Amino acid sequence: MQPEWERLLSDKVAHRLEPSLIGEMMMLVKELGAISFTAGEPSADLYPLEDLRESFDRAFGEASLFSYYPHNGGLRELRRWIADWMKSDGLAPRWLSEEEVLLTNGSQEGIHLLAEAFIAEGDAIIVESPTYPEALLTFRRQGARFLSVPVDRDGIIPEALEKVLRTSGPVKFIYTIVNFQNPSGYTTTDERKAKVLDLARRYGTVIVEDDPYRHLRYEGEPQGSYFVLGGDEGRVLYLGSFSKIIVPGIRVGWLALPPALAGKMTELRVSCEISLPAITQYAVWDFMKGRDLPSYLERLHGVYRSRRDALAEALRNECGPLGLEIDVPEGGFFLWGKIPWVRDMVDFARYAIREEKIGFIPGSIFFSDPKEGAGTVRFSFAKVDGGLAREGARRLARALASYRSR
């Protein structure tokens, strides 16, 4: 007789998890051989595989890396390099050292650790509307109560945030994606950051700053960080990642933490896993310290800028007459759009991929309340060259026309 799994599973697993629609769409793309505007990840033709192989070769020459690595925060050399890099890039206060940097298995693990550390059943957290769905999934699994605030091209709208803070009671943290936000592509200006940070002070909460796309800016002026703006106050926790600028499968990210929190977060990490793969961290450190970073990043920028422009032009030409409106960001991987007459975008997405073999992501999944995302859509341009962009836009236009007339 089979166990009664539903009775045995915790409430977190039995009732708070749900299938990933992004995963479903990516699987359908693969099964049907469709053109994909779905995946928010770097393009494989830009992976620096030869240089990475050399870095891993050098890592394999360090026998000590194959044992349990003794430093629970991760490889000390990489942590030190990250602290220096963040300070030289104007992202971190002068006090940041390797001791306040905790390496993670991608930035998603950092989100998981923060959820474990801060959220008890029923705790309120503030999220942007829209925001990153895997963060919502992690926070929901932990029992969070979502309070959403709208964003515009300059980031969180301070007046809306203050209204929520004034009426909500205690809030554990504000979760924000500050550069080329997934999915909207919006970037929080330094002027907005100052206002949001002031509200966090006044209402006694902290800011979780998620910043995986910062180094994918194709034009315009870079903005600073909440982390440096917070100075010695220690009110900001910063999430970074190498996935978008090296390769996604390497799974190395980091948390930069206030000194008072670093020790406790390291203890939490030890309760989750004995040791991170030091050999991978060594290869990332070896790869990054040997880069001419401006030249390396500019190569990525040139390709992604061209792909962004090609997809934006194709969608406007082919789908604009059918009601599609899109925003074009200054960086990142995403175009955010709206088709006001499409009431059920999930249904249309499944229709488009099956009927015309074109995949994209319905926007409703990026909202804590999916009803807020009616008619919205996300397109990823990172892996789409000009020819695919034009053909994909033509397919999407055909799908829109036939879906509207059926």
Token output for 60: 């394999």
Amino acid at 356: E
Domains belonging to the chain, first-starting first, are 5-47+295-405 (3.90.1150.10), 49-292 (3.40.640.10)
Amino acid 286: pLDDT: 97
Q: Looking at the predicted structure, is the pLDDT value of residue 19 above 70?
A: no
What pLDDT was estimated at residue 252? 96
- The pLDDT of residue 275 is 76
Q: SS3 for 309-328, per residue?
A: HHHHHHHHHHHHHHCCEEEC
Based on the number of CB atoms within 10 Å of its own CB, is 189 exposed (0-12), middle (13-18) or buried (19 or more)?
A: middle
Provide DSSP, 174-199: EEEE-SS-TTT-----HHHHHHHHHH
Q: Which two tokens stand for residue 124?
A: 């309120």
Q: Which two tokens stand for residue 349?
A: 């997405």
- Angle formed by the axes of helices 106-118 and 133-141, to 10°? 30
Q: How many CB atoms lie within 10 A of CB 219?
A: 9
Question: Is residue 131 pLDDT above 90, yes or no?
Answer: yes
Evaluate whether 109 touches 253 at the Cβ level (below 8 Å): yes
Token code pair at residue 112? 């998981």
Q: The dihedral of CA 250, 18, 133, 127: what is its sign?
A: negative
* Predicted structure pTM score: 0.95
pLDDT digits (tens, 9 = 90+) for 157-171: 999 999 999 999 999
C-alpha 144/C-alpha 309 separation (Å) is: 38
Q: How confident is the model at residue 334 (pLDDT cuts 50, 70, 90)?
A: very high
CA R_g for the chain: 21
pLDDT at 24 > cutoff 80: yes
